[in-house]
Structure 1
Amino acid sequence: MNVRGLQPLSDGSRYEAWLVNEHELHIQALGTLTKTGDEYVVNFSQPDGNLLSQGNTLQVTVETTRATLPTGRVLLSAHFPPMAGMHINHLLVSYPETPNKVALLPGLLAQTRQLYALSQQLRTTNDKTTVQCLAQNMLVLLDGQDAEKPVVKSYDCSSAHVPPLSSSYGLLGQHNDGYVSTVGAHASLAATQTDSTDTIRKYAQQVIFSSENLSNWFSTLHQDSQYLLAHPDDHDKAVEVMNLADHALNGVDSNDNGSVEPIRGEAGAMQAYLSGQSMATLTLTNK
């Protein structure tokens, strides 16, 4: 939290930050704001759990005692918009239909990293069975279901040091209902609620650009993985798979301006995740 325009306090008073859950009557202390340059700043770290799940209102109070709960005057506050916030929570906190109810953007990023790791193993092998097993696992991650008739049996893949993967929620899904499309849908829903904000709309558009890019790259990667199953000795196709998986995870600087931007043709899963976090940015206002 960064706040400009606050005046120094006297008599031992302090600016304290709090995250309040108004529904469950829970208050999380975020810490004392300290003067850094022309700003007052507090940095809060929570190793376990998701801070967004802890509350829906930010507050800055003026405290004269070191209490564990606020008792002073509320100087600044900000509220997560309930309707748009529900979809932001699906993106960043939890989603009911994913394995272990993982949030959509962390789930997308984790599974894309898995896919990337598999693709990079193609660099170190010319063994046809290994290539086929890697391709099978990539298809499982993309489809979100185990191969019904695997080209290579699980025993042979394990012997090739590529243990078969299992997935119940795919990057693409069986009917365009995986992480990629669902992320785009909830970003759009957050942006179009009546209580949405300019900040939410701005970063939701970036998430949608990323999801469009991922849909294109993963669709081609799906076709390439199926091709590698039938032609495991095609080195050029393996290189294409590695490049696409890298684009999907890290994005690509398609306009050669020296950076990967959150735009069409460039942004991947990492950019989607960062833009999704920015959708949860709050602006404090005077109480």
Structure 2
Amino acid sequence: MPPIPRSTLIVALSLLVLLLFPLSSLRAQGVYPGSGSAYVTDDRTRSDSITIKMTGVALPKEGTSYEGWLVSDDEKVKTSLKIIQVGSDGVVNHRFTSPRGENLIHLYDKVLITIEPVPDPDPAPSELVAFKGQIPGGAMTHIRHLLTNWPAGSSRGILTNLKLQLETALAKANLARDSTSIAELRKYLEQAVNVIEGQGGANYGDLDGNGTIENPGDGVGVLNHAADRKHAGFASAAAPEDETIFLHARHVEDSGNNAEQWAISARDKALVAIKQSDVNNAKLLALGTVQNLTASLNGLDANGNGTIEPILGEGGAKTAYEHAQLMATYSLVGVPITLPKTGGFAPTPIMGALAGVLGLGLVLAGSLLLRRQVKAQRAN
């Protein structure tokens, strides 16, 4: 039996390699179709609910389902957001509220959507991740300062405290407006002013002259909490490429500025009212304090379009708080599709690519040798 030419062996080997690792393995597997966002809101308590909205999502294959997850900064805690249903039009509208009342901004910084078997005996997420989103760490630090962690270790944030102090000041201003004596009115307006100013404020003190400084607030004051809205800008600076954080940081700044200016106006009217001797005149001025504190807390529909917008002259402390939550919006994007592991040998994309290159190289080498042999035979 004559020996098999070397070129024939090379070509045969190359064809075998290409059959085992087809050229299609050189192409990218693509990503899971669909995109959207997830954002946190208040439901039963602060920041305890997350809503996922997506479009263009492929229906899961038979025997599988999508499941959402919130993942902690250190990735040690993974909380299921339950099974996510996809409409026939590829639309997802899924809401989850923590049954334990967890603050989802305080505890987590990542969202995953995985592909799970049905039924699924494993309570942990699978390795097949279809979509993911994460808030940049530096930005999340300051978002938490605004909402849930200021000062560090606290369960409340800057804007949470701003709302609470405005609610306290407004309650005292309402009591002043309803007072029947000048002494009672002065007492409640002193409390309102001290809540607005804080202990270091220029107008803080025994404003009704009864020998006692009364302050039912936290001592920091509305104006200081409003000034600390600057952490929205810090968050935006920490993630300069994130347009969502930039947009809502601007909204926090504008709405927080409104809250501060209205609180200043409320304080000024209260200081004038305290000096009145006639209770009716004082109550009219106290009404102005109530109106300005109401706007500072809730915002004001200045243009009458039925919506309090996060712009100068409209948004208040509640608006600033809501847009701080929107700064923590997750952009959900598809991840590269990977083949699930099987019981047998499953080549990885890298292995396939290397094998494909090897196969092509062998084909070229075999063809070159074959040409040389043909030329040599013709020359003879």
Give the TM-score taking structure 1 as reference length: 0.87
The alignment status of 1:169 with 2:220, answered yes or no, reads: yes
Name the counterpart of 2:106. 53
Distance 1:35 1:123 in 2: 54
Decide which structure has the larger Cα Rg and report it: 2
Name the counterpart of 2:302. 254
Name the counterpart of 2:286. 238
Distance 1:22 1:210, change over 3 A: closer
Distance 1:143 1:196, change over 3 A: farther
The alignment status of 1:134 with 2:188, answered yes or no, reads: yes
Name the counterpart of 2:46. none
Q: Is the 8 A contact 1:119 1:242 kept in 2?
A: yes
Secondary structure in 2 matching 1:105: helix
Equivalent residue in structure 2 for 1:25, among 76, 98, 119: 76
Q: Is the 8 A contact 1:129 1:152 kept in 2?
A: no
Name the counterpart of 2:251. 206
Tell me how far 1:209 sits from its aligned partner: 0.6
How many pairs were matched up? 274
Distance 1:101 1:26, change over 3 A: closer
Tell me how far 1:126 sits from its aligned partner: 2.7
Tell me how far 1:19 sits from its aligned partner: 1.0
Distance 1:101 1:75 in 2: 33
Aligned CA-pair RMSD: 2.4
Name the counterpart of 1:69. 124
Q: Is the 8 A contact 2:165 2:218 kept in 1?
A: no
Q: Is the 8 A contact 2:194 2:215 kept in 1?
A: no
Secondary structure in 2 matching 1:258: coil
Name the counterpart of 1:221. 266
Pairwise mapping of residues 147-158 of structure 1 onto structure 2 (< 5 A)? 148-153=205-210
Q: Quick one: percent identity of the two aligned structures?
A: 24
Gap runs ≥5 in structure 2? 1-51, 336-380
Name the counterpart of 2:231. 186
CA distances 1:100-131 after superposition (whole Å, capped 9, x unpaired): 45211111112112222222223422321221
Tell me how far 1:27 sits from its aligned partner: 1.0
Greater length-normalized contact order (CA 8 Å, ≥ 6 residues apart): 2
Name the counterpart of 1:89. 144
Distance 1:164 1:35, change over 3 A: same
Tell me how far 1:37 sits from its aligned partner: 6.5
Name the counterpart of 1:6. 57
Secondary structure in 1 matching 2:140: helix
Distance 2:142 2:215 in 1: 33
Which amino acid counterpart does residue 186 of structure 2 have in structure 1?
A: Q
Which amino acid counterpart does residue 44 of structure 1 have in structure 2?
A: F
Equivalent residue in structure 2 for 1:282, among 330, 334, 346: 330
Q: Is the 8 A contact 2:239 2:245 kept in 1?
A: no
Gap runs ≥5 in structure 1? 158-162, 173-177
Q: Is the 8 A contact 1:200 1:279 kept in 2?
A: yes
- Tell which deviates more after alignment, 110-119 or 144-153: 144-153
- Tell which deviates more after alignment, 118-127 or 133-142: 118-127
Tell me how far 1:74 sits from its aligned partner: 0.4
Give the TM-score taking structure 2 as reference length: 0.67
Secondary structure in 2 matching 1:211: helix
The alignment status of 1:121 with 2:167, answered yes or no, reads: no
